[in-house]
């Protein structure tokens, strides 16, 4: 049977058969059914859930897009970026700045936001990819911080207070409005469609030859170069696509919240999205989404006075301790629980066999 190995920490069964396709030895149980079922459930939610709940679901969905975009970089290509929030923020700011006071057409505002994020990603990627490992982490953080300062210190960008989105974008042909993102229901389903698109798009990329090349670069870049791959353009492409998709998340966040502020580009935001990936499990698209759900809900929980009373203001403490416990105990995330339990069981069996002998 296919092993559900999670990339980054290769778990390998003793005799494994990867099936009929020349696959990367990773197959998630249920195939397409699980994500499709989840999408249906979420699509039906507005009929059962309060507006606050819907807003929470939207927030999770937008962060899921954000997390998926980073998964392409961290999980698939093995590049740990600590500055991904910059692209989220740039997409968001481009959306608000581009809307002006009259609102704008979805048709060009969305591409603008994505293009702005992608443009910054080209510059940051080209420079950062000259470094490796720990340097790369630090450099991506620094470039995000630079974007943070630009946005924070520039009056035109509203300074530390940020700016409001005065009119939500619409899509119109002639005088008929097809989509009005100011409408709550329209926004809800637009976000869901964007999430489904992002998930499917990244899944397609990962299954393609390009995606397999990225995986090769992650596992053994030296071997890829020896086989004739100029690895930097591949990494840069992944970086830019990841940045562009984060820009998409930024666009949706700006429309949903109706405002942007510099904290969107802060390293806390970059740290949060990395945490989502590790909570869910690196190397898995479902893990990225699951991680976004988990992290957002945990943060809601820890900040909730209703549920945690006096502990609520000290949510940084509870969250910090939870992160430490989680990463220490479940380095492969929630998705990897199955594999981790199986590995434990195998170890226990092996130890028992050795003791019996």
Partner 1 sequence: MDLATFLVQCLNAVQYGLLLFLVASGLTLIFGIMGVINLAHGSFYMLGAYLAFALAPWFGDWFVTRLVAGVALAAIFGYLLEWAFFSFLYERDHLQQVLLTYALILVFEELRSILVGNDVHGVPAPSWLGGGFRLGSLMEYPWYRVFASAACLVVALALYAVVQKTRLGMMIRAGASNRDMVRGLGVDIRRLYRIVFAGGVALAALAGMIAAPLSSVYPNMGASVLIICFVVVVIGGIGSITGALIASLLVGFVDTFGKVFFAEWSGVGIYLLMAIVLIWRPEGLMKRGF
Partner 2 sequence: MSAVLAEVAAPRADSAARPLLEAIRLGRRFRGLAAVDGVTLDVCIGEIHAVIGTNGAGKSTLVNMLSGELAPSAGSVRFAGDDVTRWSQPRRARAGIGRSYQRTTIFGEFSVLENCRLATQANAPHAWRVWQPAARDARGVEIAQRVLAAAGLDGDARRVAATLSHGAKRQLEIAMCLATSPRALLLDEPLAGMGAEETGRMLDLLVALKDDHAILLIEHDMDAVFKVADRITVMVNGQVIASDTPERIRTDRAVQVAYLGEGAGR
Candidate segments 147-155, 185-193, 201-209, 250-258, binder of partner 1 by CB under 8 A? 147-155
Residue 131 interacts with partner 1 (CB under 8 A)?
yes
Residue 287 interacts with partner 2 (CB under 8 A)?
no
- The C-alpha torsion from 336 through 341 and 345 to 350, rounded to 10°, is 40
Residue from 18, 38, 56, 146 binding partner 1 (CB under 8 A): 146
Residue 271: C-alpha distances to residues 67, 278, 322, 335 (Å): 11, 11, 15, 20
Which residues lie below 8 Å from residue 201, measured CB to CB, with a gap of 6+? 245
- The option from partner 1, partner 2, none interacting with 127 (CB < 5 to 8 A, set by class) reads partner 1
Residue 3 interacts with partner 2 (CB under 8 A)?
yes
Tell me how crowded residue 179 is: count the other CB atoms within 10 A of its CB. Answer: 16
User: Which is nearest to 280 in space by CA: 298, 300, 256, 303?
Assistant: 298
Considering only residues 312-351, where is the footprint of partner 1 by CB under 8 A? 314, 316-317, 319-321, 323-324, 327-328, 331
Report how far Cα 101 is from the mean position of its chain's Cα atoms.
30
Secondary structure element (H or E) that encloses residue 164, with its range: strand 163-164
- The option from partner 1, partner 2, none interacting with 210 (CB < 5 to 8 A, set by class) reads partner 2
In whole angstroms, what is the distance from residue 75 CA to residue 273 CA? 13
Binding site for partner 1 (CB under 8 A): 8, 74, 80, 82, 127-128, 130-131, 133-135, 137-139, 141-143, 145-146, 149-150, 152-155, 267, 271, 274-275, 278, 282, 314, 316-317, 319-321, 323-324, 327-328, 331
Binding site for partner 2 (CB under 8 A): 3, 5, 7, 10, 12-19, 21-25, 204-205, 207-213, 215-216, 219-220, 222-231
């Amino acid at each position: 049977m296919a092993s559900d190995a999670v990339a980054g920490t290769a778990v390998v069964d003793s005799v494994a058969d990867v099936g009929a396709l020349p696959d990367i030895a990773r197959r998630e149980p249920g195939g397409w059914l699980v994500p499709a079922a989840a999408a249906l459930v979420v699509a039906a939610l507005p009929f059962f859930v309060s507006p606050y709940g819907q807003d929470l679901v939207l927030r999770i969905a937008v962060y899921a897009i954000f997390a998926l975009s980073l998964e392409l970089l961290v999980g698939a290509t093995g590049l740990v970026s600590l500055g991904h929030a910059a692209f989220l923020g740039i997409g968001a700011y481009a959306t608000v700045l581009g809307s002006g006071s009259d609102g704008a057409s979805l048709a060009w505002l969305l591409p603008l936001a994505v293009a702005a994020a992608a443009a910054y990603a080209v510059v940051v990627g080209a420079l950062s990819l000259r470094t490796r490992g720990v340097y790369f982490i630090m450099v991506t953080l620094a470039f995000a911080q630079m974007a943070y300062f630009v946005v924070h210190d520039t009056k035109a960008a509203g300074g530390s207070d940020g700016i409001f989105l005065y009119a939500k974008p619409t899509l119109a042909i002639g005088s008929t409005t097809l989509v009005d993102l100011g409408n709550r229901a329209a926004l809800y389903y637009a976000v869901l469609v964007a999430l489904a698109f992002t998930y499917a798009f990244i899944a397609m990329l990962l299954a393609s030859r390009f995606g397999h090349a990225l995986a090769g670069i992650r596992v053994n870049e030296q071997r890829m170069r020896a086989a004739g791959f100029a690895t930097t353009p591949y990494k840069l492409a992944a970086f830019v696509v990841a940045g562009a998709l984060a820009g998409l998340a930024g666009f949706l966040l700006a429309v949903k919240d109706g405002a942007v502020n510099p904290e969107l580009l802060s390293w806390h935001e970059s740290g949060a999205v990395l945490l989502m990936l590790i909570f869910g499990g690196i190397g898995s698209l479902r893990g990225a989404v699951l991680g976004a759900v988990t992290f957002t809900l945990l943060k809601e929980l820890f900040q909730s006075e209703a549920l945690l009373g006096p502990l609520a203001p000290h949510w940084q403490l509870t969250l910090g301790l939870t992160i430490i416990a989680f990463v220490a105990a479940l380095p492969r995330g929630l998705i990897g629980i199955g594999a981790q339990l199986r590995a434990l069981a195998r170890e226990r069996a092996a130890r028992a066999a050795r003791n019996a002998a």
